[in-house]
Amino acid sequence: MFKRKLFGLIIIATGLVTLNMTLLWKLGDIAHFYMSLVFWLAVGSLLWDKQDILKQSGGKFDILSRVAGTILIAFILFKSAIVSSKFDHFLRIAPFLSGLGLGLIAVGFQDLKKYWRELVILFFMAFPV
């Protein structure tokens, strides 16, 4: 059961990262694209180091956190469909919202504090150059 949940989370995370990077590339924000690439790699590295924590909290079920995470991800998908320029501030906050949504689905409100470093990195992606 846990491996199926983890596989689903990896697919969702990969899709959100790919969506973010594709929008940055297509809108011509190359500097932010490469900066985001470095930040995403840092977050991925930190998550790889913490995979045992995710395995320990994998059995918990909190419906409220999963609904909140799903709503955040649905908002990101909806808003990404209507992004029209590289000056849209949504592109800068989308990585943080993606991380927050995935965190809520994966570990819930209680264990989200274990991933504060990853969320801080994603938060700082929002600041302009």
Q: Are 19 and 102 in contact (CB under 8 A)?
A: no
Q: Is this model's pTM higher than 0.75 or not? A: yes
Segment 48-70, tens digit of pLDDT: 888 776 666 655 568 999 999 99
Query: Exposed (0-12), middle (13-18) or buried (19+): which is 26, by Cβ within 10 Å?
Result: exposed
Segment 25-34, tens digit of pLDDT: 988 888 888 9
Structural domain boundaries in the chain:
2-124
Packing angle, helices 90-111 and 30-49, rounded to 10? 10
